[in-house]
Amino acid sequence: MSQELRQSAAGDHIATSNERSGHGGRDLTYDQKKAAEAAFRGEPFNPAWSVAAATVYEGIVSAMCRMQVAALTGSTVEAPEECLTR
């Protein structure tokens, strides 16, 4: 895995990598992209999408839920049991 350092306009060094995430740096499939869009918009999951799309959807919804709880309570929450926005 190759990494380079580049300098931002503010003078900070930013590490860049071939890997966009911890999943090998591959692009999302069409249904994963649709699932991500639906999650951000608060739309329901389409059961015709793949299991991988379900993982993307659930991850985004879970992260958004944690952010909402943290904003309301002023603290961080590790793993909420149920999100009120679902």
* Domains in the chain: boundaries: 3-73
Could you tell me if 25 and 33 are in contact, meaning their C-beta atoms sit under 8 angstroms apart? no
Residues in the chain: 86
pLDDT at 5: 46
Q: How far apart are CA 58 and CA 65, in angstroms?
A: 10
Query: What's the pLDDT tens digit per position in 16-42?
Result: 444 444 556 789 999 999 999 999 999
Query: Six-digit token pair at 8?
Result: 């931002």
Query: What's the pLDDT tens digit per position in 67-84?
Result: 888 888 876 555 555 555
pLDDT at 82: 55
